[in-house]
Amino acid sequence: MAVKTTFKENIAIALQSIAGNRLRTALTALIIAIGIMALVGILTAIEGVKQFTNDAFAGLGANSFTIQNRGSGLNFGNGGHRKIYPPVRYDQAERFKKKFALPSVITIKLQLSGTAIAKYGNQKTNPNISVSGANENYLLTSGQKLAFGRNFSAAEIEHGTNVVMIGNEIKKKLFKNEDPINKLIYVGNNQYRVIGVFASKGSSAGFGGDKFCVIPIVKANQLKDSSHTSFSVTVMVNNPAALDATIGEATSLFRNIRSLNIGSDDNFEIERSDSIQAELSGQLAYMTMGGATIGIITLIGAAIGLMNIMLVSVTERTREIGLRKSLGATPAIIRKQFLIEAIVICLIGGVLGIILGMAIGNLIAVQISGTFVTPWRWLFAAIALCTFIGLISGFYPAKKASKLDPVEALRYE
């Protein structure tokens, strides 16, 4: 009971000291808040991006792969270099689609531009619209869904009709609350009739977000401006267990289409959807470790600052410590008082840092294509870290205060 009472008294005295030195407390808490803000902010931003990428790849599933003339481009190391092979021509992609015998859904796609402008009447978008050509299976293999409207018809694909499916952001920019279906818009220098609007997936810097549109693949083939333009072929199998066998069959067929000899290496890449996600998750794990390291280094600086301020506090309150000791306070009680004071200040700064870190981290995540997240494990870790920093930073000042001689302390000016 006596221990409980003493503990309550120490907390009360610590809180009184904090309230009586508001400026010092505010500065000390701000030091901790900056450190926690850096840690939580960086990790929240990374968590937001990680959540977005998981959602982006979830629609693709683990039962698809893409044949293309280069690597995925997700590798942040090795100087950003990727293997690039001869382009995949449209006739090669079509031959593959017609000859591939295993049960699957096949999409042929061509990226035309990432800087197009879409116009309707007096309204136009920024020059950041991604334009792709694809066949009728695009919706099945891309993870995209239509909010309203329809997919390409077989006749539109065959004849390369000037029709387009647009992203939700293009719809909002050009049409506001107006129905865009069957309206004529310009994308670049070509006019198209809108037949569908994709469901929103949020803004994205690396995956196109809602600032994209898709036209029939034959029309895209007519518009390509270079013989070096490369198509991609995405294959989705019905049974994930058959994925490896399907990749083997696809590799064999495409080697024949590319006229490769038995001893020749493949001159194309096959990227599995699950391997791309795993590779990106690995890169994000390295980013998380880097962010945590930066945050911890910042917190070490904050802990040193807190220790310095607590030592100043001990010096300023030497007479108070001497008075308390003369009234019967033991070294253990004095030590606990300063430790509790350091921990409380750390927790005040920690809560402020968590709030600011979450706000800044989510703002950054949303701007660079992430989603809003609440990283609970990092929040609890931040609280525990604040308590630990309070103990470490307050230990030496508390020990110094507890060893002061009461007579000498009372004489201190």
Cα gap 207→261, rounded to integer Å: 36
Residues 138 and 230 in one domain: yes
Give the end of a domain, one of 234, 267, 300.
267
pLDDT of residue 21: 72
123 plus 171 within the same structural domain: yes
Do residues 257 and 289 share a domain?
Answer: no
Please check whether residue 152 lies inside any domain of the structure: yes
Q: Are residues 258 and 304 in the same domain?
A: no
Q: Give the number of domains in the chain.
A: 2
Tokens representing 174?
């050009």
Rounded to whole angstroms, the Cα distance separating 176 from 183 reads 13
Which residues pair with residue 266 across a beta bridge? none
Q: What is the pLDDT along the chain (413 residues), one digit of tens a residue?
A: 555 556 677 677 767 777 777 777 787 788 788 878 877 887 777 777 777 666 655 555 557 888 888 765 545 444 445 577 888 999 999 999 999 988 888 999 999 988 899 999 899 999 989 999 999 999 888 878 899 999 999 999 999 999 999 999 999 999 988 899 999 999 988 999 999 999 887 654 344 568 899 999 999 999 887 767 889 999 988 777 788 888 899 999 999 999 888 888 888 888 877 665 566 666 777 777 877 787 778 777 777 877 777 777 777 777 777 777 777 777 777 777 778 878 888 888 888 888 888 888 778 777 665 566 777 777 787 788 778 877 887 777 777 777 766 656 555 55
328 and 250 in one domain?
no
Check residue 295 and give its pLDDT: 73
336 part of a folded domain: yes
Same domain (yes/no): 33, 103: no
Residue 56 pLDDT: 59
| Domain range enclosing 182 | 86-267
- Confirm whether 66 is domain-assigned: no
Taking alpha carbons only, the member of 275, 264, 287, 251 closest to residue 364 is: 287
Q: What's the CA gap between 123 and 115, in Å, rounded?
A: 17
pLDDT of residue 348: 84
What pLDDT shows up at residue 5?
A: 59
Residues 138 and 218 in one domain: yes
- Is pTM beyond 0.85? Reply is no
Are 249 and 138 part of one and the same domain? yes
- Is 242 inside any structural domain? yes
| Residue 237 shares a structural domain with residue 201 | yes
Residue 275 placed within a domain: no
Residue at a domain's end among 267, 302, 326: 267
355 and 401 in a single domain? The answer is: yes
Cα 76 to Cα 372: distance, rounded to the nearest angstrom: 24
Q: Can you give the pLDDT at residue 238?
A: 79
- Give the pLDDT score at 253: 93
In a domain, residue 298? The reply is yes
Query: Does residue 301 share a domain with residue 402?
Result: yes
Residues 243 and 348 in one domain: no
- Tell me, yes or no, whether 79 lies in a domain: no
Domain boundary among 198, 233, 267: 267
Distance CA 119, CA 126 (A): 10
Pair of tokens at residue 131: 């334009």
CA distances from 312 to 29, 267, 317, 318 (A): 15, 69, 9, 10
Residue 63 domain flag: no
Q: How far apart, in whole angstroms, are the C-alpha atoms of residue 284 and residue 47?
A: 9
